[in-house]
Amino acid sequence: MGWLAVILIAIWITLAFTKLHAVVFVTVVLAIGLSLRGLTRFAQKKRPKPSLLRQAILEQLPVDAMLRPKFLVATAGSAQLADSALQLCQEHNAALVVAFVRDVALAVGAEARLTLETDPAAQALFAEWLEHGHRYGVPIIPMYDTGNNPTELLAEAAAISGTERVLIGTSRRGSLHQLIKGSFQRRLEILLPPEIPVEVIEPGGPGTEPPAKAAQPVTP
Q: pLDDT tens digits for 10-24?
A: 776 776 667 667 667
87 found inside a domain:
yes
192 and 170 assigned to the same domain:
yes
Judged against a pLDDT cut of 60, whether residue 133 lies above it is answered with: yes
In whole angstroms, what separates CA 17 from the centre of its chain? Answer: 59
74 shares a domain with 23: no
User: pLDDT tens-digit profile of 139-164?
Assistant: 998 888 888 888 888 999 898 888 99
The pLDDT value recorded for residue 160 is: 87
Asked whether residue 208 is domain-assigned, the answer is no
Q: Are residues 24 and 67 in the same domain?
A: no
Residue 9 vs residue 138, higher pLDDT: 138
Q: Residue 93 sits in a domain of what CATH number?
A: 3.40.50.620
Indicate the length of the chain as a whole number.
220
Judge if 64 and 40 occupy the same domain: no
* Residue 88 banded pLDDT, cuts 50, 70, 90: very high
Q: Which domain holds residue 126?
A: 52-201
pLDDT at 60 over 70: yes
| 13 shares its domain with 65 | no
- Are 30 and 82 members of one domain? no
85 confidence band (pLDDT: 50, 70, 90): very high
What integer pLDDT is reported at residue 213 of this predicted model? Answer: 41
Which CA distances in Å does 6 have to 2, 10, 18, 105? Answer: 6, 6, 19, 63
Indicate whether 198 pLDDT > 80: yes
Q: Do 110 and 186 sit in the same domain of this protein?
A: yes
Domain count along the chain: 2
* pTM for this prediction: 0.63
Residue 133 lies in a domain: yes
In the chain, the amino acid numbered 104 is V
